[in-house]
Amino acid sequence: MSDNVTVIKPLENPMHGSTRVPGDKSISHRAVLFSAMAEGTSRVSGVLDSADVRSSIGAVRALGAQVSLEKQADGSLAGGITGWGAAGPSQPAEPVDCGNSGTTVRLLMGILAPWDIQVTLTGDSSLCKRPMRRITAPLMKMGARFLPEGRETLPITVHGGGLRPLTYDAPMASAQLKTAVLLAGMYASGTTTVNEPAPSRNHTELMLPEYGVATTAGACTASVTGPAQPQAGEVLVPGDPSSAAFLACAAVLRPESSIQIEDVSLNTARIGFVRTLERMGAQVSVAHTGAAGKEPYGIIEACHTPDLRGCEVPADKIAGIIDEIPVLALVAAHAHGITVFRQVGELRVKETDRLAAIMDGLAKLGVDAWCEGDDLYIEGQPGLQVPEGLEFDSLGDHRLAMTWSLVGLTGKVPVNIKDFEAVRVSYPGFLDDIERLAR
């Protein structure tokens, strides 16, 4: 067997008890990046230690921020970040490598756009295939330049400086796009507004006030008025709901399981997967226990549910579950009837073509899944029996690696996962955590 194939064996026991998941990836990125922009030294804790967040840490160091984060007993990172403040980022000596992190590179475009420096942004082979035009287009309207002109993928060189405010009607709901424009707008004289066709994650609007930058936000709109220089803040990162989704779905699928996931973000823009599971009839619930700044957190509880049913997920809910669709598709494969995810074309341009990968993986299970336009249909098979000897290819995508591992973990026969180590991007301890719940 190839060295990069991992055998995932069925859990020996049902999942029981309480656990925590690593810090939220979206909030961790922003804590690092916003602290690097700020004047003074910010204190951050609960930061996810993963490959993607390490890309943001490396990038801001290359641009002049001083990062002193240390590994904590729970595996998170905590410490101080001294930003470049009003002096602006430094001119790096070489291209800034963003690894596999779309969040890092897209937010950096907005961060660099106001400054009179030239920075080349690049990444790994996967990131260099992902679309960047959605970010560069509004920033060019604000006055930034990107070379080579017309280029839609990395590497791209940012030529910043002299921005003007913008009111932008975004063609898609994207927290990365929205954040990039707002971060650039902080250094333009006037109000910059982003209007979206559906709600996207609102961590930026909630976190910027923690750094002294006022924001105005509605369900599908967000604004910032510049010039506004962020000041050092203090951020506690709650657990990542996208990571929690895989544990919750595992409990729903594994007979006799019942778990609680503590201290996880319950931001309404992030727990759409819970609402989708509820529509499928799954036994899941949330309970608020506190808040970190303006970010609510609490407990997600999930129990095995033998009688799942198909449902329809409307287009206006997709942005809130885009990262969880692969694992929700696996749950739908076990449900009575057909599940429809409306307008999920965005999956084609994630770390890989997740839409094709979902259909290919479910086909290996003997489950019918197909697309009509950008709508994904899955015809469930209650009592689904997994054939022996299956091998899934993660395609280097962390969400796919965790999704297909649940086939083995919650089933009766082992499965092989190619490039399972992709989980290091967001949840390095995933397998240990899920196995600990089944002891």
pLDDT, tens only, 201-251: 999 999 999 999 999 999 899 999 999 999 999 999 999 999 999 999 999
- The pair of structure tokens assigned to 307 is 């009688």
Active site residues: 323
Q: How is residue 238 annotated by DSSP? A: -
Q: Are residues 196 and 301 in the same domain?
A: no
Q: Are residues 103 and 183 in the same domain?
A: yes
Q: Is 130 annotated as a binding residue?
A: yes
Q: How far is CA 347 from the centre of its chain?
A: 13
Residue 38 structural domain: 25-236
Q: Are residues 115 and 227 in the same domain?
A: yes
Q: How is residue 116 annotated by DSSP? A: S
Q: Are residues 243 and 162 in the same domain?
A: no
Task: Return mean pLDDT, the chain.
Answer: 96
Q: Are residues 185 and 279 in the same domain?
A: no
Q: Are residues 123 and 198 in the same domain?
A: yes
pLDDT, tens only, 134-187: 999 999 999 999 999 999 999 999 999 999 999 999 999 999 999 999 999 999
Q: Is 102 annotated as a binding residue?
A: yes
Q: Are residues 288 and 404 in the same domain?
A: yes
Element of type H or E holding 260: strand 258-265
Q: Is 150 annotated as a binding residue?
A: no
Q: Is 350 annotated as a binding residue?
A: yes
State which of 207, 236, 265 marks the end of a domain: 236
State which of 212, 236, 260 marks the end of a domain: 236
d(CA 347, CA 323): 9
pLDDT, tens only, 257-297: 999 999 999 999 999 999 999 999 999 999 999 999 899 99
Q: Are residues 35 and 151 in the same domain?
A: yes
State which of 184, 217, 236 marks the end of a domain: 236
Side by side, the strands of the sheet bearing 375-379 are: 312-313, 338-341, 375-379, 368-372
87 in Cβ contact with 114 (< 8 Å): no
Q: Is 436 annotated as a binding residue?
A: no
- pLDDT band of residue 19 (cuts 50, 70, 90) is very high
Tell me what pLDDT residue 1 has.
43
Q: Is 35 annotated as a binding residue?
A: no
CA dist 138 to 19, 150, 203, 402, Å?
A: 42, 13, 20, 34
pTM of this structure: 0.93
85 in Cβ contact with 60 (< 8 Å): no
| Residue type (1 letter), 222 | A
C-alpha dihedral sign at 276, 277, 279, 283:
negative
CATH code at 288?
Answer: 3.65.10.10
Q: Are residues 280 and 402 in the same domain?
A: yes
Neighbours of 14 (CB within 10 A): 17
